[in-house]
Structure 1
């Protein structure tokens, strides 16, 4: 059994301390209460004593490494321009709130923006809302930036954006809600960790990796996106997507497109507008232990080759539990595809001898169509169970390989199986 820890890994949250890539910093002076003005460059640790209202450009600008800006329950408010709190490359700065009252950053182009060269920053405990392009953006920021414990709500575009080669940062334990475009968008950036966020009500997709590699998406909860819940697109290779849940998205629970070598493990994807997991031109991925029940389809592969599809649950969909179209070399083992509105497992498309899909020890019971339907040729069917289906237990076209050990009983067709030998 795969265990998921809600405690974030220490290697991702280890303090950078007072070091940078270039040497040791002198410690910043202790924080002191101070009145600040809109657009001020802050060069010492401060605790705000008043709101900043209607800032015509930026709210505050980080001007030294290692400082802390404590909003202390106050608001930094703009007029739709600039950045609420901007850092143009200073390391180990902390933007936080020590008060029980919300510290709001609102009505800018960006709420908080970490620009190229920024490393080791912490952005935490803020309420960031009603900004234009993003609540928080990492643009070329790298190495151990941590965006954690914030409420990021109602941006006109995206909640959190990670772009421009921003790497090895953590987006964790945030509530990211009601943003009019994407909840979290990671583009052309590597080795980031998106963990334990609550992403709801996105106007587009909930969580998107685009051309991004080596990242971990762990234990996020995604609901009511107006597009798919989790998307891995355009060369998002070698990522781990584990223990996430997604419900009531308008499109699929998870889409992997033109991306390879990803591991999709133990995700729960239910009640979405399309299939639970869709692989499109996505090769050599591992899809194991996911529950994709109660969607319009369970697992759907299209022109997707050499994937491992093991021990998934694809029950109670309104369509097919598992479907493969024009896909070869996939290994399907120990999956459940029961009580679906159409077929349990459906495969269409020829394969050359030795390059077909392997269907081994899957369970396909009580479906409204066939338990297993293999159209065309070149597939291997071995050790599967098909009982109580409305039509065939197993139906195979000419040219497929009977690997033996298939079992079928009480199916709608008296012969139970076509072109495959089945025992009761």
Structure 2
């Protein structure tokens, strides 16, 4: 049997009212002394119809405490604002299948839109989430399998999007600008997908994965003009960082700190203060990335072992193309294979300490050595070097023109 939602009827609502049927607002709710509207039934639609739900800095503009398949929307071409509460819209424990769309949540204290233990296909889409005193969107308390897509998230004083202890959410196609903290942060959150988001003008990194944020997919995102790194991963494992364009940041394009087993492929991290930077991070694959035109090192590894660097470009950097520092036990060295490191201000490739393998790399026109390798490293053969400032071209490995 086909079940259809009841037709929404024009309604004159009051502050704090519980809504149990589908409604279309016919007037603004202004200066609500507590909450705005409370969802009181599943399967209903609340259409703000171009009207404003306005508070005095307390409670929630529109609150759902566990009802499913509710749509909160705006059918009018006039913006529908939910403003000046603690939370603009809150989907609380047990809430599933909700849609929050076409709203403008502005000037709220804690978050424009918050999901707290809200699971299973809640969709937050096509909203303007602007000017919160703290975060734009919060996904916390074990919220899972939700989608936050195609929102404009701007000028929030904390993170643009903050995900904590929540798994398997999809954040896609959001424009995140002017955040007072990081643009998008995952904390203790695994299995999430970050896809085609654009992050710019953040006061911290564009994207942060931290404190056990494992096995996430970060793909085809872009960032620019953020105060810190394009992407920072710390104390997290198994992430896939694929085909992102992370440029113009105040730190390196990609930074891994005590993070292991990640795949970093096909990223463009040119034009930052550094390209890809690893510290105390092991067993990562770094392949086919572009780390050109930074003011520092294109790719740097410090106290990091068992990493595979393959087919990367590290050209025209202000210091080294590729720089590796730190001892490795036999069999645990980093593998530098078939990379290109040309026209860097210092060495094309510099490998101090040992035991790392250097094989099949191309280094030309660098300001110092093509390859500088301390004794004890492994010459895998096939390294090419020419027109570097040091007449011998390479030391510690044999290079041919």
TM-score when scaled to structure 2?
A: 0.99
Instruction: Determine whether 1:38 maps to 2:15.
Output: yes
Matches within 5 A, 1:13-412: 28-412=5-389
What whole-Å deviation, never above 9, does each CA across 1:271-307 have from its counterpart, x for those lacking one? 1000000000000000000000000000000000000
2:201 and 2:376 map into 1 onto residues whose CA distance is 44
2:158 and 2:7 map into 1 onto residues whose CA distance is 40
1:322 and 1:217 map into 2 onto residues whose CA distance is 24
Aligned residues: 401
Paired residues of 1:288 and 1:308 also in contact (CA < 8 A)? yes
In the TM superposition, residue 28 of structure 1 has moved relative to its aligned partner by 4.5
Provide structure 2 residue ranges, at least 5 long, that are not aligned to the other structure.
none
1:421 and 1:282 map into 2 onto residues whose CA distance is 33
Out of 388, 392, 399, the residue aligned to residue 415 of structure 1 is 392
Provide structure 1 residue ranges, at least 5 long, that are not aligned to the other structure.
1-16, 19-25
Structure 1 consecutive aligned stretches of length 4 or more whose deviation exceeds 6 Å: none
2:191 and 2:263 map into 1 onto residues whose CA distance is 15
1:405 and 1:354 map into 2 onto residues whose CA distance is 20
1:190 and 1:138 map into 2 onto residues whose CA distance is 12
TM-score when scaled to structure 1?
A: 0.94
In the TM superposition, residue 29 of structure 1 has moved relative to its aligned partner by 2.6
In the TM superposition, residue 372 of structure 1 has moved relative to its aligned partner by 0.2
1:406 and 1:27 map into 2 onto residues whose CA distance is 69
What whole-Å deviation, never above 9, does each CA across 1:249-286 have from its counterpart, x for those lacking one? 10000001000010000000111000000000000000
User: What is the aligned-residue RMSD (CA, Å)?
Assistant: 1.0
